[in-house]
Amino acid sequence: MLAFKDGDTASFGCLFDRYKTRIVNYCRRFMNDRETAEDMAQEVFLRVYRSAPKYKPEAAFSTWIFKIATNVCLNELRRPKYRYSTESIDVSKTGDGDPPLEIADKLGIAPEEAVARKELDAVVRRALEELPAKQRAAVLLRIYDGFSYEEIAKQIGKSEKSVKALIHRGRNMLKAYLKDYIDREPER
Amino acid sequence: MKRSKCNMESMVSAYMDGALSEVEIRRFKVHLKECPECRESLKALTALDKVLRQSSDVSLSPDFDAVFYEKLNRESRKKSWFLGPAPYFSGLKVWAAASACALMIVTGWMLTRPDPVRMTAEEIVIAKHFDILQDFEIIDNLELLENWEALESGEAEL
C-alpha cells in the first residue's frame, strides 16, 4: 500500500488480487446476497484506491482493509430495504453460492457431499444473518479471517472487552441456530 | 438462548480464541475441571466453529475484475474532469484560494449594493425628537387657544 501511495500503480493490482476473494467472501457472509456482496467488495477497493494519499500504516494493511469492508457492510445494512426486512432471504432466489458440482470439483469431493455442503452453506448464511450487525462482523472477522480481539476492536470501533462479549454472544446465538449440525459434528 | 448460571462461561470464547492472559488461562483450566457447564459450552462452541468453517468460500464472478476496473476508470475520468486543476490547488492552497474568492465576493457586494438612505443633520434631529415634534402642531397653534374666547365672541378673527 505504501508503494501504491508513492505512485506505484501496479502495486494496487497486487493488493486487489491478494485480497479480492477474502473481501468478497466477507461481504458475502455479511449480506447473504452474491451480487450485493460483489458490488460492496468493489466499493471497498474503490475506497482503498481513493484513500491511498491519506493512508498511514498505523495497523496491518489487512486490519485496515477489513475495517473499510466492515464500514461498507454496516452502511449497506442501514439502508431501509434491510432495516425493515424481517424475513430471511430465500436461498433459492439469491443464487446462493457455487453450484454443487462446482463445489465438488473445487474441493475434490463427491457430488452428494457437495450437495450437503451447499445446504450447510445456506443454513450457516441464514444463521449469520440473524445476528445483530456488529456481532456478525465480530464473529466473521474472528472465525473466518482470524483477526485478534484487538484488531477486531479497531475494525468495528469498540473496546476489546465489548468485542469479547460480542463474539461470545454471537457464538451462543449461532449454537442455538445450528444445533442440529453441531450435534452431528462428532459423527462426521 | 439459555442463560448460563456459571459466571465464567463468558470466558469460553476468549479461551478458545487465545485472548486470555496466562493467569486467566491457568485459572480457567482449573475451573474447567470443576464446571461441567463450561466444559459442555467449550465442546459445543468448538464444534460450532468447525461447522462454520466447513461452509465453503464462494468463487468470484468471471467478470468481477473487469467490472471493478471499469468502475475505477469511470471514477478516474470523472475525477480528472471535475478536479482538473486540483494538483495545483492542494492542501492549504485550496483554503487560500477559497478565502480569496470569498473576499472578492464580499468586496464586490459592498461596492455594488444600493446606497443607504442619507439624512441631513436637521432630519436626524427631527428623528431623535420625533415624539416631541408630534405635538408641534398643537404648540404652533397655542395662540389660537389663547384667543379662544375672543374668537368665540366674534371679537377676533382667524
Q: Could you give the C-alpha distances from B123 to B127, B130, B134, in angstroms and in order?
A: 6, 10, 14
- Chain B residues bordering chain A (beta-carbon distance below 8 Å): 1, 10, 12-14, 17, 19, 44-45, 47-61, 64-65, 67-68, 71-72, 75
Identify which has the larger pLDDT, B52 or B130. B52
Average pLDDT, chain A: 83
- The helix (run of H) or strand (run of E) holding residue B111 is helix B92-112
CATH classification (class only), A2-187: mainly alpha
pLDDT of residue A52: 82
Cβ pair A140, A125 in contact under 8 A: no
pLDDT of residue B94: 76
Distance CA A52, CA B154 (A): 104
Name the residue ranges covered by the structural domains of chain A.
2-187
pLDDT of residue B38: 94
Distance CA A177, CA B36 (A): 22
Identify which has the larger pLDDT, A4 or A133. A133
Q: What would the mean pLDDT of A80-98 be, rounded to a whole number?
A: 52
Amino acid letter at A145?
D
Task: Flag whether pLDDT at B144 surpasses 70.
Answer: no
Amino acid letter at A71?
N
Range of weakest confidence among A20-29, A134-143, B119-128: B119-128
Q: What would the mean pLDDT of A142-152 be, rounded to a whole number?
A: 95
Q: What would the mean pLDDT of A41-45 be, rounded to a whole number?
A: 95
pLDDT of residue A77: 87
Identify which has the larger pLDDT, A111 or B22. B22
Identify which has the larger pLDDT, A101 or A8. A8
A chain contacts of residue B65, beta-carbon cutoff 8 Å:
16, 20
Task: Flag whether pLDDT at A45 surpasses 90.
Answer: yes
Beta-carbon neighbour count of residue A22 at 10 Å?
17
Confidence band, pLDDT 50/70/90 cuts, at residue B141: low
A chain contacts of residue B17, beta-carbon cutoff 8 Å:
142, 148-149, 167
Task: Flag whether pLDDT at B86 surpasses 70.
Answer: no
With CA atoms as reference, the chain A residue closest to B12 would be A168
Confidence band, pLDDT 50/70/90 cuts, at residue A25: very high
Identify which has the larger pLDDT, B117 or B103. B103
Q: What would the mean pLDDT of A107-134 be, rounded to a whole number?
A: 85
Name, of A84-88, B119-123, B134-138, the range with top average pLDDT.
B119-123
**A182–B51: do the CB atoms touch at under 8 Å?**
yes
SS3 A4: helix
Distance from CA of A120 to the nearest CA of B (A): 6
Q: Could you give the C-alpha distances from A151 to A41, A155, B13, B31, B77, in angstroms and in order?
A: 20, 6, 16, 28, 35
Helices and strands, counts by H and E, chain A: 11, 0
Distance CA A158, CA A134 (A): 9
Confidence band, pLDDT 50/70/90 cuts, at residue A90: very low
Confidence band, pLDDT 50/70/90 cuts, at residue A188: very low
Q: What digits encode the pLDDT tens for the residues B21-47?
A: 999 999 999 999 999 999 999 999 999
Nearest to B55 among A124, A165, A172 (CB): A124
pLDDT of residue A139: 96
Query: Is the ipTM above a cut-off of 0.85?
Result: no
Task: Flag whether pLDDT at B115 surpasses 90.
Answer: no
Phi, psi for B82 (deg, rounded to 5): -75, -35
Identify which has the larger pLDDT, B124 or A13. A13
Range of weakest confidence among A119-128, A166-175, B13-22, B122-131: B122-131
Q: Which residues 10-29 of chain A have a CB within 8 Å of chain B?
A: 16, 20-21, 24-25, 28-29
Distance CA A14, CA A4 (A): 10
Distance CA A161, CA B26 (A): 20
Task: Flag whether pLDDT at B48 surpasses 60.
Answer: yes
